[in-house]
Amino acid sequence: MKVLITDKKNVEHSVNYTIGDSLAETIMYSTIGADIQPFAICAFDCKCRTCHAIIEEKYFESLPPIEEDEEYLLNTSLHRKDNSRLSCQIKMTEELDGMKVKLREDY
């Protein structure tokens, strides 16, 4: 299964994922992970916004609801969009196969 990640330099990458991993883990441990630093500097603990991502709208409703900590962090961002999420809070499922994600500069 794959997701299409557009990095902070606007280059799109096809990235394989494992069901159950977070989107942030998928990105960090892929071949693009080293090139997008800083990213997930809180170690996937929902304490920063460095994994801020814009999720393709047709997949957005398939995601789990935003919890309070994530909502707070997104509300402190000048770059929040209606389909913004922190990628550390998204667990990868079969339904997300083919999803497009755009990483944001947000730190």
Strands, DSSP E only, in the chain? 2-6, 12-16, 52-55, 84-86, 100-103
Taking residues 60-73, report their average pLDDT.
95
Percent with pLDDT over 90 in the chain? 79
Q: What digits encode the pLDDT tens for the residues 42-54?
A: 988 999 999 999 9
Type and span of the H or E element at 79:
none
The predicted structure's pLDDT at residue 32: 81
Q: What digits encode the pLDDT tens for the residues 3-38?
A: 999 998 899 999 999 999 999 999 999 878 677 878
pTM attached to this predicted model: 0.92
| CATH number belonging to domain 2-103 | 3.10.20.30
Is 16 in contact with 1 (CB distance < 8 Å)?
yes
